[in-house]
Chain A
Amino acid sequence: MSFNLLLVNLTGRNNVYLKREFIKSMFKVTKVFRFTSVAMLCVMFWGCKSTQSTENTATESSAKADKAELEELYWAKIDSSKMNFTEADVKFMTGMIGHHAQALIMSELAPKNGASSQVQTLAARIINAQKDEIATMQNWLRERDQPVPEVNINGLNLMIHGTGMDHSNHMKMAGMLSQDQLVELSEAKGTEFDRLFLTYMIQHHSGAVTMVKTLINTDGAVQDEQAFRLATDINVDQITEIERMKLMLSQMSQESE
């Protein structure tokens, strides 16, 4: 079923990259089929065994064998569940890695630029959360034999390797700061940094929310459980942080009055 979906999605579009992926996927699908047939056999075998073991007292070794067979089925199912994805899911993951990477660049400025302890706490949490999510998204792509973007940060400069995608594509994503905005932020200090950081991070996060929206409005997308979880987690986490940052901004402007 997921194989057919993939076929429709990949053959329906004329794209060299997709064709390459299609060939890769073919390979992967045959691998999954092999796994699944082994697993089916295991289930049948295990089924018989377990009926017996309820009649007799299960010996430790047969229970162990049942567990091993069940485990094989588990991994086969996890493996085949990873086939249920589309080009839109891949594009989202690939893009969001670069998007998150810019949040790291922005957040790493906070301690150096004399941010308030509240903003430093916020920045530290953004770094922690988005680093983990980058790892999860890279893993998601790797497990599906897709090109995995590697993030390389050098000061204010972001390099994304391994996707064959032009860096300028990343800069076009919703909410991304221009290089000028990044420089402006890096030169701000103290309270001015706080205000600019919050303003720009709200812009940046709102872009991520827009990217989730675009993804879910695409036919066939987010059927994959992990992709759904990631996209909705990014959605609610960033919406929550946007609220928090708006609150912090309004408190700042009230205190300065």
Chain B
Amino acid sequence: MIVATALVTFSCSSTEQMMDVEYTSPTVAPLTQVDSPSPDPRVGLGAGLFDAEEAAWNLTMVSQTPPPKDFLGVTNSDLAFKGKYAIQGNYNGVLVWDISDPANPVLTKEYLCPASQSDVSVYGNLMFVSGEGFSGRLDCGTEGVQEAVSDVRLRGIRIFDITDIEDPKYISNVQTCRGSHTHSVLKDPNDDDNVYIYVSGSAPVRPEDELPGCSDASPDEDSNSALFRIEVIKVPLANPEMAAIASSPRIFENLEEPPSHGLAPSDKEALETAKANGAFTVEFGGQENVLPSQFVSQLFKTQMGVDGEPTAADSAALREKLPSIISNMFGGGGDEDEDSRKGPTQCHDITLYPEIGLAGGACEGYGLLLDISDPVNPKRIDAVADSNFAYWHSATFSNDGNKVLFTDEWGGGGQPKCRESDPMEWGANAIFTIDNGKMNFKDYYKLSAAQTSEENCVAHNGSLIPVPGRDIMVQAWYQGGISIFDWTNPENAVEIAYHDRGPVSPDQMQMGGSWSVYWYNGAIVSSEIARGLDIFALEASPYLTENEIEAANSVKLDYLNAQGQPKFVWPKTFALSKAYVDQLERNKELNNTAVNMARQSLANAEKASPKMRKQILTKLASQIDGLASASGNSAKVKMLADSVRGLASNP
């Protein structure tokens, strides 16, 4: 150290000469050549509640903490974060953990107040908790509610004062017709007096006798119907007990026949192969479909009068006539449904990204893009449907807002949907680019490790990890474990890390696994349905270097909500510039000479005196500028140059 300082001092005083300090080059490898453990160690893990076998890759488990006894055996649900605390929802209430030492989370409060799903959010000194099930009580009692109509039932949002987070005070609640399965908290950049809560409820509408004004008739019969709408609750920050429903926007109005995203690349390939093998295809539902061979042979018989093996001429004739045959075969009919409404009656999740003014609504059979610049009146700007998607569950935007990823919670989360026989397009993520307010389908991503029939598994909740210059997400797959994947290239998402346990029970499906997992200030925190709170740390690998991890961890959040997406901004650090260099090398977007030059200069600058550092960095920035045009990724090179310039101007 002393020697190095001496060297640097020496080099600084000699104006021209600069002694190079030593630096290390991380091992990098392109994502097209990911060398994941094979055979996949997640397949065939032994069962157990607290002693299940585990498999991890590029992820270290830092701690696993079981729930307290009143909450044990009851579902742990979603997470919210504030300061050094993680707040964990549980169907029996909420748990407040101090996670300042991730290796030893400390349970600071267990608040018994049953309701499902108990999804939690925070804003300022307020905490919001969702209640949807029929046994939630206004008085937080544990005895449930037996009557189908009752004035003690809570279905909606509970509001707590968490000025002292270790001792929350239940101050109010807002009842809603369908209860609150989940909710999202919207802080409008132009309104500092209120926050808004978007309530999504998927359970049936409660009786009017229980909550006046609730109607489950179709909106055509009753314009006040609780179906086909979401609720927006306005919470005055100065008087949170005055929180009330401000609007019930019908964001699904006229939602018919949305553009389908068309075929996935693998489907296209299958279609081309089938066509090459002489299959008959027909346009149906806006896309090309292969006709089943039995159907084709029937057509030969019934439509063309061909008995026996058709000749080449017969085939050509059928191909020509096919469109009109198909169209004739449709017949009339269908008009009995003309009057019935199409489209979703509610959303499951709405992910709010206020900095870009957009929200992603995952609403039954549709993924919606919403303009939320007027918080009380969200406007739908686009909608997508997908025949592979059973149930649109939640959305995550890329940090730049140019992409959105939707999840399909096929089977509702309680079913094993990651078995070897389950299609990779079902219960997966679908990735879309957003081009001028239109969503365009690119690809699916599903957990690749086959799970057993004793493991509930499907795409579920997660968050971005703020690795600069890349879109990396950590995601919960229930008993499929946790998967970290890179979706920078929307057409090819690649897994780069994971953790998984064997099933809770070896011989029956017992609910368990990661409900949700989020990156929060360097920790990866997972709510394990049966096993409690798990905390992980990223491990460096050729697909994610130490520099990239350090740059991610330089982002500091004051709070985080499950369905609220913060815009990440990276402080100008050496780790940031080094992360970009690693990425340019990984993707072969800068040659070795340039990469070494950049690393050497950054290492020198880091050790240099402030004055010398500025000189070195300014020179490096202009050198990098000069490399941009020759690079395969000039945008990334410019990001590197900007980060170096930013470093140079740091005081």
A residues bordering B, Cβ < 8 Å? Answer: 1, 5, 43, 67, 70-71, 73-78, 81, 84, 111-112, 114-118, 120-122, 125, 128-129, 132-133, 135-136, 139, 189-192, 195, 199, 202, 212-213, 216-223, 225-226, 228-230, 232-233, 235-237, 239-241, 243-244, 246-253, 255-256
Contact = CB atoms under 8 A, between A and B. Distances in A.
Contacts of B338: 250
A257 to B, nearest CB: 8
Contacts of B294: 112, 114
Contacts of B411: 129, 132, 233, 237
Contacts of B385: 244, 247
Nearest to B271: A117
B415 A129 contact: yes
Nearest to B258: A247
B415 A81 contact: no
A34 B499 CA distance: 37
B422 interface: yes
A129 B390 contact: yes
A70 B66 contact: yes
A71 B75 CA distance: 15
B360 to A, nearest CB: 17
A232 B116 CA distance: 12
Nearest to B343: A243
B334 A136 contact: no
B332 A256 contact: yes
A192 to B, nearest CB: 7
B51 A192 contact: no
A229 B414 contact: yes
Contact of A232 (B74, B202, B207): B202
A227 to B, nearest CB: 10
A252 B334 contact: yes
Interface string B129-160: 00011110000000111111000000000000
Given A114-B298, A220-B146, A253 B335 contact: yes
Nearest to A117: B289
Given A71-B49, A116-B285, 4 more contacts: A74-B530, A136-B414, A228-B116, A230-B414
B73 A77 contact: yes
B73 A73 contact: yes
Contacts of B335: 253
Contacts of B148: 216-219, 221
B144 A191 contact: no
A20 B510 CA distance: 28
B345 interface: yes
User: Lowest 6 A-B CB distances belong to which pairs?
Assistant: A256-B330, A253-B334, A77-B73, A233-B412, A114-B295, A191-B329
18 contacts: A1-B143, A71-B51, A118-B285, A121-B388, A125-B390, A189-B298, A190-B298, A195-B330, A220-B146, A220-B147, A221-B148, A229-B414, A232-B132, A235-B204, A236-B202, A243-B343, A250-B342, A256-B331
Nearest to B179: A232
A250 B332 CA distance: 11
A135 B69 CA distance: 30
Interface residues of B, number: 77
Given A225-B75, A236-B391, A237-B412, A248 B342 contact: no
Nearest to A46: B69
B494 to A, nearest CB: 27
B174 interface: no
Nearest to A121: B387
Contacts of B134: 216, 221-223, 228
Interface of B: 49-51, 66, 69, 72-75, 91, 116, 132-135, 143-148, 202-204, 207, 256-257, 284-286, 289-290, 292, 294-295, 298, 326-338, 340, 342-345, 348, 364-365, 385, 387-388, 390-391, 410-417, 422, 426, 508-511, 530
Nearest to B203: A232
Contacts of A213: 204
Contact of A243 (B73, B336, B364): B364
A122 B388 CA distance: 9
A212 B340 CA distance: 21
B365 A244 contact: yes
B139 to A, nearest CB: 15
Contacts of B413: 233
B344 to A, nearest CB: 7
Contacts of A249: 334, 337
Contacts of A189: 295, 298
B391 A225 contact: no
Given A118-B285, A195-B331, A240-B365, A217 B207 contact: yes
Contact of B204 (A111, A122, A129, A212): A212
Contacts of B256: 247, 250
Contact of B332 (A225, A229, A253): A253
A225 B134 CA distance: 10
B73 A81 contact: yes
A237 B393 CA distance: 11
| Chain A binding surface SS class | helix
Nearest to B255: A243
Residue with the highest number of chain A CB atoms closer than 10 Å, among B91, B143, B289, B364: B364
A74 B76 CA distance: 13
Interface centre among A217, A225, A243, A251 (most CB of B within 10 A): A243
Contacts of B511: 226
B284 A243 contact: no
A202 B342 CA distance: 13
Given A70-B66, A236-B412, A243-B342, A190 B295 contact: yes
A128 B422 contact: yes
A139 B331 contact: no
Contact of A246 (B332, B342, B345, B391): B342
Given A189-B298, A190-B298, A230-B414, A251 B330 contact: no
A248 B258 CA distance: 12
Nearest to A79: B73
B349 to A, nearest CB: 13
Contact of A43 (B69, B73, B327, B340): B69
Contacts of B132: 232
Nearest to A126: B390
Given A125-B426, A189-B298, A216-B148, A225 B116 contact: yes
B365 A191 contact: no
A212 B295 CA distance: 38
A237 B408 CA distance: 11
B66 A228 contact: no
Contact of B327 (A116, A128, A241, A256): A256
Contacts of B91: 225
Contact of B69 (A73, A129, A218): A73
A136 B508 CA distance: 10
A251 B289 CA distance: 15
B51 A67 contact: yes
B146 A223 contact: yes
B272 to A, nearest CB: 15
Contacts of A212: 204
B106 to A, nearest CB: 10
Contact of A247 (B144, B204, B257, B414): B257
Given A77-B73, A225-B116, A118 B289 contact: yes
A250 B145 CA distance: 42
Contacts of B207: 217
Contact of B337 (A81, A139, A250): A250
Contacts of A233: 411-414
Given A111-B292, A191-B329, A255-B327, A240 B390 contact: yes
A66 B304 CA distance: 76
Given A118-B284, A235-B203, A67 B50 contact: yes
